[in-house]
Amino acid sequence: MDYSNNRYFDLFRKQKENQYKVANTNYKGRTKKLVAIKHAIEVTYKDQIREALYNDFKKPFAETDLTEIYQIIGEIKHAKKYLKSWMSNHKVSTPLALFGTSSWYKYEPKGVCLIISPWNYPLNLTFDPLVSAIAAGNTVIIKPSELTPNISSVMAKIIKDLFHENEVALIQGEVETSQELLKLPFNHIFFTGSPKVGKIVMEAAAKNLSSVTLELGGKSPTIIDETANIKSAVKKIVWGKFLNNGQTCVAPDYILINETIKDDFIQSFKTQLEHFFTKDVINSNSICRILNSDHFDRLINHLENAKSKNATIEIGGKSDSDKNFLEPTVISNLPEDASLLESEIFGPILPIKTYKTLYEAINYINSKEKPLSLYIYSSNKKNIDFILNNTRAGTTCINNNLLQASNHYLPFGGSNNSGMGKSHGFFGFQEFSNTRAILKQNFKGFIENFYPPYTSAKQKLIDLTIKWF
């Protein structure tokens, strides 16, 4: 295939030519690069990162520190600790029939990789996969979201500061930039974004049989049963839902609550909201804004749709279009065809649905696409096991939310509509690696007894081998 007309082919070619040099670095060389990224984010560019995210969508500095900077620093520390063992040869056993051989596998770099990232945690979701890609020994082209231009510019500066473009390059641009890049025969594509665009990425990748990791979104349900500690559950859900103002892939999208505790839940929710953000939420410095007017309008349309179907606004509902501000809003009594129950909300609106039995709750969840995250609040082990065994989800957190995405020892990712492949820690390293199987013949082995010509004696030996070895 001729790619010479592609705007980015020259850069791609340079990375391809350089890939073995990058691949053949040892763990010390790779760690050095990771430590340089850590220093840039933690020290040199920290203030610029905070300012940029504030300018992009008024993200509070504390949230930038916790959900962007801290996450990447943690990922780097974790990789630094384990990279040597991840990169070593992994010996495996030898079946008797292969006597005379030894076997092992190793993780080799995939080659030239593409990372496409979204706007909602733009720094974290660009550098987190980058850490894994570098740890695994790849060269990388990055395309961040065009919707958060301030942080994209800072990220471009960091990458330019630390890497030659034949190793890591960041290209800023609109959707067309992604589309042009996606035509190139990358060895791996790591995409984070919506399921809709995930399908476009996978289709483009199929043309070159590039492997893909798709970190997608969807509706993450939260089940609260009658044994849950309501006050504690509410505190965590208010935090998990309104962190980043609901613009989080693993945010609790909607609540499924036992009908007997709904009123207590809503009462407690109001109190907790005031405690976190005061009664004057619009002036609170602890909550960021909806990204832009398109997303603001999308959320207002959801709200209008709910109102037109006689849903009950339990809390909030007021908005200010000049500031892309919508009060934290809780809605109940939504009919099944309400748009809020059909698409990922990705904003400060929380629908509540009640259930009578847990069967009803899990049947509802199982009638939808597999979620990225499913949350359970309960103090009854039987109920927790019942939910875990009868639903499917990429990740689950019990008696809390979001935290499952912060443990570097856990894989992170969805299933089917919410994604494929895993990231974080070893799982991210593995995703950017080809697991190469190696068998070495050490001395004349048993297997040569099976070579042609196939005499009756050999057939007997084959029969014995099938039966006993």
| Interacting residue ranges for ligand NAD, rule: CB under 6 A | 116-120, 125, 143, 145-146, 175, 178-179, 192-194, 197, 200, 215-217, 249, 344, 346, 372, 414, 419
Task: Find residue 193's DSSP bridge partners.
Answer: none
Min CB(427)–ligand NAD separation in Å: 13
Active site residue 274: no
**Is residue 22 classed as helix, strand or coil in its secondary structure?**
helix
Q: Which long-range contacts (CB under 8 A, 24 or more apart) does 3-9 make?
A: 3/183, 3/184, 3/185, 6/180, 6/183, 6/184, 7/180, 8/141, 8/171, 8/180, 8/181, 8/184, 9/184
State the nearest-atom distance from the C-beta of 371 to ligand NAD, in Å: 10
Instruction: Report the residue count for the chain.
Output: 469
Min separation Cβ 404 and ligand NAD, Å: 12
Cis peptide before 109 (omega within 30 of 0): no
The string of DSSP letters for 132-199 reads HHHHTT-EEEEE--TT-HHHHHHHHHHHHHH--TTTEEE----HHHHHHHTTS--SEEEEES-HHHHH
Active-site position among 63, 68, 75, 215: 215
Nearer to ligand NAD, 37 or 345 (CB): 345
Task: Select 19 or 152, whichever has its Cβ closest to ligand NAD.
Answer: 152
Q: Which two tokens stand for residue 122?
A: 């733009």
Closest distance to ligand NAD from the beta carbon of 452 (Å): 53
Cα–Cα distances in Å, from 467 out to 257, 446, 457?
A: 56, 16, 15
- List 213's β-bridge partners, or say none: 190
Cα–Cα distance between 319 and 339 in angstroms, integer? 19
Choose between 216 and 374: whose C-beta lies nearer to ligand NAD: 216
Q: Compare residues 76 and 171 and give the one whose CB is closer to ligand NAD.
A: 171
Closest to ligand NAD by CB, 175 vs 438, is: 175
Least distance CB 406 / ligand NAD (angstroms): 12
Sequence-ordered strand ranges (E) for 229-320: 254-258, 312-315, 319-320
In the complex, least distance from residue 142 CB atom to ligand NAD, rounded to whole angstroms: 10
Longest dimension (CA), the chain: 90
**Nearest to ligand NAD of 197, 410 (CB atom):** 197
Q: Which is nearer to ligand NAD, 30 or 424 (CB)?
A: 424
Residue 116 CB, nearest approach to ligand NAD (Å): 5
What does the radius of gyration of the chain's CA atoms come to, in whole angstroms? Answer: 26
- Location of structure tokens 């009854």: 380
What residues act catalytically? 215
